[in-house]
Structure 1
Amino acid sequence: MAQIGLKYLICSKLTETETEATYTGGKIMAYAIKADMSIEVNEGVLRGDDRIIENVKEFKSGKLTLNGDHLDYETRALILGHTLTTIESGTNKKMTAKGSDDGAFVGVGFYATSIKNNIRGFRAIWLTKVKFGVPSESMETRGEAINFQTPTIEGTILTNVLDVWKEEATFPTEAEAKTWLNTMASIGGTP
């Protein structure tokens, strides 16, 4: 299945009990520019009679690299654990980043247009448990041409308490994909 585009980059705070994973405070993270996922597996091989008789491959963890137009202070506070305070007239905010800050585990979602046999669908992906690190940023002086600099943030994909690391579904309309992601992230109410 070929894919084009990327839209609707969202996250939501994860709370886990022994038997349940729930999400609250869902929000749009940024306008989506790029999402890269790479998955690591644990592999076990059992040999017998001079050949491989069993081979097991299981999810270990993954790396999620996101590039968006802007990570606002509220998103950074959630995913990185930074502190926000109000300054001056009560409308400006200041973010304080400490070395000991530790952000929340979050669910992360997005969707892309998929094409198979000239039929378009919308593949929605919900990563159930992600822990982000401080984003990389680059800044440069303006020259002859305008070059936008946007933040890249990297997170670790983990399994949640239910041993699930990803949920995905493909829908015939963009609206259905977005509605499903909103339900997963509890955007607009609780699921």
Structure 2
Amino acid sequence: MGKYATGLKNFHVAKQLTDNKTDGVTYDTPVKLSEAVSASVEPNVATGRLPGDNRIVATDTKFNYATVNITSTSLTAEDEVLLFGKTMGSDGVLKSKGNIPYVAFGYEVTFNDGSSEFWWLLKGKFQEPSNSKNTQGDSIEFSQPSISGEFIPRDFDEEWKFVGNESNAGFTAGATWFDAVYVPTP
């Protein structure tokens, strides 16, 4: 029997605080977003080919960035403060201006055998979503916000993602994966 992805859950975001060769990389404590509906990660990779003797003698690839699209059940004002750097007035009104921070984005993929795969995308910025709502009719229609972002390699170590799978030998971090952005063991 094969192992197949059957679900998605546990969207988390952590604001990146530092990212450089001197001070290393640090993040705020991850915050859980609304329930996950969908996530796609589309890497952009450059490929080079070296021709010689009337054929290709070598090839190489380089990761540039990844486009990330996520849909959740809702996008709260608190989520917008975290994701888009907006501010909330003391009167509870969300202001439109903000300085979009770099964040890490994590989630969990579930499989038909009961195991899970855990992801952290390490450095990216999300763009404000388009907003579309419909009037209520004879049936109930839920609107689900979608946001897009671009993730790049970190300055500190040039990593752009970490993926842990419960089927991998030695992987034991699943229970604490979202407590903090994953830090690899040497």
TM-score higher than 0.5: yes
Shift of 1:176: 5.2
Identify the structure with the greater helix proportion: 1
C-alpha separation between the residues in 1 aligned to 2:41 and 2:72?
15
Shift of 1:86: 1.7
The Cα offsets for residues 40-69 of structure 1, whole Å up to 9 and x where unpaired, read as: 101111110011111111111111101011
The 5 A counterparts of 1:118-133 are 119-133=113-127
For residues 127 and 157 of structure 1, do their structure 2 counterparts lie closer, same or farther at Cα, with a shift above 3 Å needed? same
Task: Give the aligned partner of residue 12 of structure 1.
Answer: 14
Question: Could you tell me whether the CA contact under 8 Å between 1:125 and 1:168 is conserved in 2?
Answer: yes
Question: Is residue 134 of structure 2 the alignment partner of residue 140 of structure 1?
Answer: yes
C-alpha separation between the residues in 2 aligned to 1:75 and 1:143?
29
Question: Could you tell me whether the CA contact under 8 Å between 1:107 and 1:185 is conserved in 2?
Answer: no
Identify the structure with the greater strand proportion: 1
Question: Is residue 151 of structure 2 the alignment partner of residue 157 of structure 1?
Answer: yes
Q: Which stretches in structure 2 are left out of the alignment for 5+ residues?
A: none
TM-score (norm 2): 0.87
Task: Give the aligned partner of residue 97 of structure 1.
Answer: 96
TM-score (norm 1): 0.84
Which residue, out of 111, 114, 119, partners 1:114? 111
Amino acid at match of 1:167: F
CA RMSD in angstroms comes to 1.9
The 5 A counterparts of 1:1-191 are 1-14=3-16, 15-19=18-22, 20-87=24-91, 93-98=92-97, 101-115=98-112, 119-161=113-155, 162-171=157-166, 177-184=174-181
Q: Which stretches in structure 1 are left out of the alignment for 5+ residues?
A: 88-92, 187-191
State the aligned residue count. 174
The ranges of structure 1 where at least 4 consecutive aligned residues each deviate by more than 6 angstroms after the TM superposition are: none
C-alpha separation between the residues in 1 aligned to 2:68 and 2:20?
24
Taking only the aligned residue pairs, the percentage that are identical comes to 26
C-alpha separation between the residues in 2 aligned to 1:137 and 1:69?
14
C-alpha separation between the residues in 1 aligned to 2:161 and 2:179?
15
Question: Could you tell me whether the CA contact under 8 Å between 2:83 and 2:103 is conserved in 1?
Answer: yes
